[in-house]
């Protein structure tokens, strides 16, 4: 399976994502933001980081970069797009995903392990995943997901909420919400479920000795679903 990771000026999880994708068997290519064309890909990843120094709003400048039109075309033709952290912010800024990531409610940069509960596994990203509560890592200043009431209703009605912040038992409660995100939302899909944006970093959880392995479960399963 071929994947591509887009590098923006200020991306800092692009290499981690490259390592993770290759570890689980993807043939990954790195694509510079100033290119016009994407290589043949089964998966496009917008990585975490601080594209363009988070100027104006997180992800807003990257959302207008040269490569983005190709990513939008790829996504609109049904291609699989994954945005992690800053990648999620970029996806909302392009309009591919609804809502916006606001500054964390406590105005602090949060860097810690959290748990998420997978809410919908009828899609390529989570189908057949053998665990529904994953321990992943978050590192962000703007992860407080917000959308209008109408948008929230349509996200819920169309089963577009991908994952909620929860405790280790999978209970979705206020205490497990790290950043003030509306309804504990950690990640969402587009309507067709071929685009996933989420704040937690699975690529940081692929090595037992460094962190944990719940990210491995995500990538292994994703590759299996694409084969």
* Secondary structure, 3-state, 145-214: EECCHHHHHHHHHCCCEEEEEECCCCCCCHHHCCCCCHHHEEEEECCCCCEEEECCEHHHCCCCCCCCCH
Does the annotation mark 33 as catalytic?
Answer: no
Does residue number 148 form part of the binding site for other proteins (CB under 8 A)? yes
Does residue number 60 form part of the binding site for other proteins (CB under 8 A)? yes
Determine the interface stretch with other proteins among 43-51, 68-76, 104-112, 117-125 (rule: CB under 8 A): 104-112
Shortest separation between residue 98's beta carbon and other proteins, angstroms: 8
The only residue of 22, 27, 64, 192 in contact with other proteins, by rule CB under 8 A: 64
The only residue of 15, 23, 29, 57 in contact with other proteins, by rule CB under 8 A: 57
Does the annotation mark 137 as catalytic?
Answer: no
Cα–Cα separations (whole angstroms), residue 60 to 19, 133, 179, 219: 26, 31, 20, 28
CA dist., res. 34 & res. 70, Å (int) = 11
Does residue number 12 form part of the binding site for other proteins (CB under 8 A)? no
Determine the interface stretch with other proteins among 32-40, 57-65, 122-130, 154-162 (rule: CB under 8 A): 57-65
73: Cβ–Cβ under 8 A, 6 or more apart, which residues?
none
The only residue of 14, 93, 203, 214 in contact with other proteins, by rule CB under 8 A: 93
Does residue number 154 form part of the binding site for other proteins (CB under 8 A)? no
Q: Are 44 and 74 in contact (CB under 8 A)?
A: yes
CA dist., res. 145 & res. 185, Å (int) = 7
Residue in 33, 137, 140, 201 annotated catalytic: 201
Does the annotation mark 201 as catalytic?
Answer: yes
For 75, list phi and psi in degrees, rounded to 5.
-65, -45
Strand 110-118's sheet: what is its strand order? 27-32, 2-7, 43-46, 80-84, 195-198, 185-189, 161-166, 110-118, 133-140
Residue with Cβ nearer other proteins (42 or 146): 146
Determine the interface stretch with other proteins among 30-38, 142-150, 166-174, 187-195 (rule: CB under 8 A): 142-150
Residue with Cβ nearer other proteins (147 or 199): 147
Active-site residue list: 85, 201, 203
Under the rule (CB under 8 A), what is the footprint of other proteins? 56-57, 60, 64, 93, 99-100, 102-107, 144, 146-148, 151, 180
């Amino acid at each position: 399976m071929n994947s591509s990771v887009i590098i923006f000026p200020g991306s800092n999880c692009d290499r981690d994502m490259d390592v993770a994708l290759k570890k689980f068997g993807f043939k990954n290519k790195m694509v510079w933001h100033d290119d016009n064309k994407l290589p043949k890909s089964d998966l496009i990843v917008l990585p975490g980081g601080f594209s363009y120094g988070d100027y104006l709003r997180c992800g807003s400048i990257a959302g207008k970069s040269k490569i983005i039109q190709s990513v939008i075309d790829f996504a609109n033709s049904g291609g699989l797009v994954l945005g992690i952290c800053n990648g999620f912010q970029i996806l909302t800024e392009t309009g591919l995903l609804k809502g916006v990531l606001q500054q964390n409610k406590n105005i602090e940069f949060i860097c810690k392990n959290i748990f998420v509960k997978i809410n919908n596994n009828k899609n390529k990203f989570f189908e057949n995943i053998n665990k529904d509560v994953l321990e992943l890592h978050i590192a962000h200043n703007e992860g407080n997901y917000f959308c209008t009431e109408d948008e929230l209703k349509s996200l819920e009605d169309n089963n577009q909420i991908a994952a909620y912040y929860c405790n280790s038992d999978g209970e979705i409660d206020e205490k497990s919400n790290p950043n003030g995100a509306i309804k504990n939302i950690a990640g969402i899909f587009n309507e067709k479920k071929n685009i996933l944006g989420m704040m937690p970093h699975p690529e940081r959880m692929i090595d037992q000795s460094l962190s944990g392995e719940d990210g491995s479960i995500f990538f292994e399963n994703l590759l299996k679903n694409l084969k």
